[in-house]
């Protein structure tokens, strides 16, 4: 549901006073927070009349609109519009863009209705000249563009100039993203006996995302059919309280898309490893008794609580060092997921099936991996032709 513009208002039953209450947004304060005025009555009609009379005597619109600067409008939009519609991780990105690139910036104090293309373009050019990456500036503009879209829809501005900004094309170096078949075999051999061996094996053989692995519970494992079901993920990020103070916390969240809810088969040798892992965990649980926080997590720390999402990638790097892979050729932890997809494509599994197993929201994401695999296959095909000729 879209946010009401200044002056439109809302009316609802107010149970604590056993009456109806209407509220009008009449502007913003110096901190960018919405200023609201409340009206009370026994019926909706009574409240509406009071609100209409107020608007006749106190025009809401131009004056309130003119109060907004780019900074105060962006602040209002982030905290009052976006916060209620997006997940904490996404909100964290919006808040970060505001805090680092809008608040106190050279466009911050420009009245919203006076913001023009040259203001935005000049600001971005200076950011780029000072070393800000093209990718970051594009993220800033995406947020600003959406923010100004909302202003345009509510007639606060005549035109959204963020849509007309010109940014340079980002040059992307093609980096190694997956293990080869030989490296995968060496990886499996190298992690034997490692405390995260089962964790890495499940990642490599199911394609689960890091957060999905951390959120996996024993109730998600079907021991009869040798499958696991993705129902949640775990992440670490900022939580904002009612006073908008933030603190970092590890927490569960539901998957972003319907496709992310999925059931994935577990290959037999990895399933056996999971059984061993459960046996060891049960022994630890019995030994610690009440000191063990039983959250039913498949992968947890020594006392049963969530693993920190920042932890697994660190030993993953050290394992690649042990394998003899140069640092510049290291793959990221997410590369285990892409390695899983790559092996499927190499076995000629249809892209649609891979999409379902990976939980991709869009087949295009799957096909991008498919295209990369096919590039390597073309080289193999040419090599085969050379052998023939």
The pLDDT value given to residue 65? 57
The pLDDT value given to residue 3? 43
The pLDDT value given to residue 6? 46
The pLDDT value given to residue 30? 57
Q: Is residue 230 a contact partner of residue 360, using CB atoms and an 8 Å limit?
A: no
- Terminal Cα-to-Cα distance of the chain (whole angstroms): 65
pTM: predicted TM-score of the whole model, two decimal places: 0.65
- Chain centroid, CA 248 distance in Å: 15
Residues in the chain, total: 389
Q: How far is CA 222 from CA 227, 273, 287, 342, 361, in A?
A: 5, 15, 26, 26, 24
Alpha-carbon dihedral angle through residues 132, 135, 138, 139, given to the nearest 10 degrees: -100
The pLDDT value given to residue 114? 92
The pLDDT value given to residue 376? 62
Phi-psi bin for 362: left (phi > 0), alpha (psi -120 to 50), beta?
beta
Helix 197-206 / helix 181-190 crossing angle, nearest 10 deg: 160
Low-confidence ranges of the chain (pLDDT < 50): 1-7, 60, 389
The pLDDT value given to residue 80? 83
Other C-beta atoms closer than 10 Å to the C-beta of 193 total 6
Domains of the chain: 10-67 (no CATH), 70-164 (1.10.150.130), 181-386 (1.10.443.10)
pLDDT digits (tens, 9 = 90+) for 351-384: 999 999 999 988 988 888 877 776 666 555 555 5
C-alpha to C-alpha distance for 323 and 87, rounded to whole angstroms: 38
Q: What residues contact 103, with CB distance under 8 A and at least 6 apart?
A: 71, 75
**Longest pairwise C-alpha distance within the chain:** 92
The pLDDT value given to residue 1? 37
The pLDDT value given to residue 173? 65
The pLDDT value given to residue 372? 73
Helices within the chain (DSSP H only): 44-57, 62-67, 70-76, 88-97, 117-129, 134-153, 181-190, 197-206, 210-214, 268-288, 313-322, 334-346, 351-358, 363-388
The pLDDT value given to residue 4? 46
pLDDT digits (tens, 9 = 90+) for 11-42: 888 888 889 998 887 665 556 566 777 889 99
């Amino acid at each position: 549901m879209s946010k009401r513009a200044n002056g439109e208002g809302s009316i609802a039953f107010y149970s604590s006073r056993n009456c109806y209450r209407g509220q009008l947004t009449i502007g913003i304060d110096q901190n960018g927070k919405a200023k609201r005025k409340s009206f009370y009555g026994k019926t909706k009609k009574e409240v509406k009349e009071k609100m209409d009379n107020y608007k006749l005597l106190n025009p809401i619109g131009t004056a309130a609109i003119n109060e907004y600067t780019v900074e105060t409008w962006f602040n209002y939009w982030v905290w009052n519009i976006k916060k209620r519609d997006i997940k904490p991780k996404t909100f964290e990105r919006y808040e970060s863009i505001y805090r680092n690139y809008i608040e106190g910036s050279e466009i911050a104090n420009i009245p919203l209705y006076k913001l023009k293309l040259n203001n935005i373009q000049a600001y971005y050019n200076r950011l780029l000249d000072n070393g800000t990456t093209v990718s970051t500036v594009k993220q800033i503009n995406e947020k600003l563009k959406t923010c100004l879209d909302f202003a345009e829809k509510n007639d606060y501005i005549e035109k959204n100039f963020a849509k007309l900004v010109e940014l340079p094309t980002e040059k992307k170096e093609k980096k190694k993203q997956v293990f080869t078949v030989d490296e995968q075999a060496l990886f499996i051999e190298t992690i034997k006996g490692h405390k995260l061996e089962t964790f890495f094996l499940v990642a490599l053989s199911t394609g689960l995302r890091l957060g999905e692995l951390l959120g996996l519970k024993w109730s998600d494992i079907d021991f009869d059919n040798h499958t696991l079901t993705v129902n949640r993920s775990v992440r670490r990020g900022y939580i904002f309280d009612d006073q908008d103070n933030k603190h970092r916390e590890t927490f569960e969240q539901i998957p972003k898309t319907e496709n992310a809810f999925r059931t994935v088969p577990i290959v037999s040798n990895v399933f056996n490893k999971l059984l061993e892992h459960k046996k060891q965990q049960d022994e630890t649980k019995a030994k610690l008794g009440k000191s063990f926080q039983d959250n039913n997590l498949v992968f947890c720390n020594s006392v049963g609580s969530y693993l920190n999402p920042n932890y697994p990638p660190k030993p993953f790097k050290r394992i690649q060092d042990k394998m003899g892979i140069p640092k510049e050729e290291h793959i990221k932890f997410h590369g285990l997921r892409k390695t899983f997809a790559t092996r499927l494509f190499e076995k000629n599994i249809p892209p649609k099936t891979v999409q379902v197993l990976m939980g991709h929201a869009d087949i295009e994401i799957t096909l991008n991996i498919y295209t990369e695999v096919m590039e390597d296959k073309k080289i193999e095909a040419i090599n085969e032709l050379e052998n023939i000729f």
